[in-house]
Homo-oligomer: A and B are copies of this chain.
Amino acid sequence: MRCDTSKTNRSSVEIEILKATYDALLKHGYADLSVTRIGDELDKSKSVIYHHYDTKMDLLSALLDFAVDTFLSRIETHPNRGPTKKLNHFLERLLTSDPAEEFQLQAVLVCFRSQAVTDQKIRAQFTRIDQRLAATIQDIIARGIQKGVFCDVEVSQVSEHLLAVINGVISNRHTTDREGVATTAHASVVSYVESELKQSC
């Protein structure tokens, strides 16, 4: 995981601990994560963890904040691109999850996602992620309509449709062994965008 420390106040030791937690999470899963297992991924004594985080929950909470911030900072779209290129780039980034670093970041978020069913703080973070993704898609489509590049569609309907596909594909990729599905779904989304935003007007 590449960590952008410039945007935060996290020290290098904290980043090292978060990186170890990230690796342990992807190895053992959320429910089987222990401080000992996180310590196994560290080059330092595990006692350093307790110097920086009072409990395992504090550490996991910091990791989720960190993963969410990193994920959201990467979905920024290029300001100078036109709506079509911007939307294609955005969808490609989320649906193909290339490079491997992006794939792992998504996997970490999927590891946390189930906890959002019962944990209000984690639920608030996933609400934040999905609101932000939906707003980004809405913004691109609205600008496309304004510029006459896209058809005058029901913006929220198309945005929620695309967001659902994105979340469905990410879930499939990390929680099943159904290979090739992401590629098929990506092709279907390209075709959906083409017919919904370009051909239907």
A113 at the interface (CB under 8 A from B): yes
Question: What is the distance, in angstroms, from A139's C-beta to the closest C-beta of chain B?
Answer: 17
Q: Which residue of B is nearest A120, CB measured?
A: B177
Q: Which residue of B is nearest A181, CB measured?
A: B160
Interface core residue of A26, A158, A177 (most chain B CB under 10 Å): A177
Question: What is the distance, in angstroms, from A176's C-beta to the closest C-beta of chain B?
Answer: 4
A168 at the interface (CB under 8 A from B): yes
A146 at the interface (CB under 8 A from B): no
- Which residues of chain A in 138-188 are interfacial with respect to chain B, using CB atoms and an 8 Å cutoff? 154, 156-158, 160-161, 163-169, 171-172, 174-178, 181, 184-185, 187-188
The binding surface of chain A is classed by DSSP as: helix
User: A124 contacts which chain B residues (CB < 8 A)?
Assistant: 177
Given A30-B31, A111-B117, A195-B200, is A161 in contact with B189 using a C-beta cutoff of 8 Å?
yes
User: A115 contacts which chain B residues (CB < 8 A)?
Assistant: 29-31, 114
Stretch at the interface among A47-55, A63-71, A76-84, A126-134: A126-134
User: A26 contacts which chain B residues (CB < 8 A)?
Assistant: 117-118
A131 and B134 CA atoms in complex are apart in Å by: 28
A111 and B31 CA atoms in complex are apart in Å by: 11
User: A28 contacts which chain B residues (CB < 8 A)?
Assistant: 118
A188 and B134 CA atoms in complex are apart in Å by: 14
A163 and B160 CA atoms in complex are apart in Å by: 15
Q: Which residues of A contact B (CB under 8 A)?
A: 26-32, 107, 110-119, 123-124, 126-127, 130-131, 134, 154, 156-158, 160-161, 163-169, 171-172, 174-178, 181, 184-185, 187-189, 191-192, 195-196, 200
Taking A29-B117, A127-B178, A164-B164 as known contacts, 9 extra A-B pairs with beta carbons closer than 8 A to each other, sorted by chain A number, are A29-B119, A30-B30, A117-B175, A130-B172, A157-B187, A158-B188, A165-B165, A167-B168, A168-B171
6 interchain residue pairs of minimum CB distance: A164-B168, A114-B114, A29-B118, A116-B175, A161-B188, A167-B168
